[in-house]
Amino acid sequence: MPLQSTARRRLLQGLAIAGASTVLGGCATALTDRDTAGGFVRREVRAGARSSAFQVFVPAARLPRPLPVVLFLHGSGERGDDGEKQTQAGLGPYLRGRGGDFPALVVFPQSPEGESWEGDTATMALAALDAATEEFQGDRARTSLTGMSRGGYGTWSLALREPARFAALVPVCGGITPPGTRPDLASLQVESTHAAADPFSETARQLRHIPSWIFHGARDDVVPPEQSRRMHAALRAVGADVRYTEFPDANHNSWDAAYRTEALWPWLFAQQR
């Protein structure tokens, strides 16, 4: 992977995202041998007044560029400000098991404690995506979005916010409306469609043009599988390109099985805007 010039990094650090008053802050640390062999690198993004650390999985340098890009949104348990936990559940462990041979750039923003993938947190995630795509030669036409649990909700939410941005969606054990299982999850929902008479149908109507593959565990007692079943049915009703996999023995952790699904990755990387 070619090294980024000092001038280019400075340009990236000063780049403003129109309409969001967002500045992308690329890290000035030079890439190391570990980076060119494939692995995680830490970066920082500034969105408005907030600065946040994020991680990027960068494939081995020998893989052709531009790279497909995946934006990963973590769940409730990985929220914080350490810049590390978001790689420790879900897609991060899967990538570590693959070494540097996974053929895509993967961006791991981190949501602050107590927040969902809405508002300023969504702005930060998109800023991290822009910064990583620019620095590491990502392909904007082959950019996909995935997330687990709260990040599964966030997958639908960010896609509704940027409906022309993503080539494919992979929500894992997510949903649209409050799951209704625990008081601490009562506010968990997709904000932009929650006032609709049928939030599932409205979400499907707006996102019917984006191919999606939904995953859920049949025994999920945190976010009931009915959330994904209803979204699958709504997308099918509007003629969308949608797949649904339900793991019969999985509880809330359906993400390990989802990301190990062999057919997922060729399907995902074949999608293009």
Q: What is the mean pLDDT of each successive set of 10 residues along the chain, which is 273 residues long?
A: 39 35 37 62 88 94 91 97 97 91 95 95 97 97 98 98 97 97 89 98 98 98 97 98 98 98 97 96
105-108: strand order across its sheet: 16-17, 22-23, 39-47, 50-58, 105-108, 67-73, 138-148, 168-172, 212-217, 242-247
pLDDT for residue 105: 97
pLDDT for residue 38: 83
User: Could you say which DSSP state residue 75 is in?
Assistant: -
pLDDT for residue 24: 36
- CA–CA separation, 226 and 59 (whole Å): 36
Q: 138: which strand partners? A: 67
Under a CB-based contact definition with an 8 Å cutoff, are residues 1 and 58 in contact?
yes
Token pair 């969308």 in the structure block, residue:
240
Class of 6-270 in CATH: alpha beta
Query: What pTM does this model have?
Result: 0.87
pLDDT for residue 101: 84
* 10 Cβ contact partners less than 8 Å away, ≥ 6 residues apart: none
User: Could you say which DSSP state residue 248 is in?
Assistant: T
- CA–CA separation, 112 and 92 (whole Å): 18
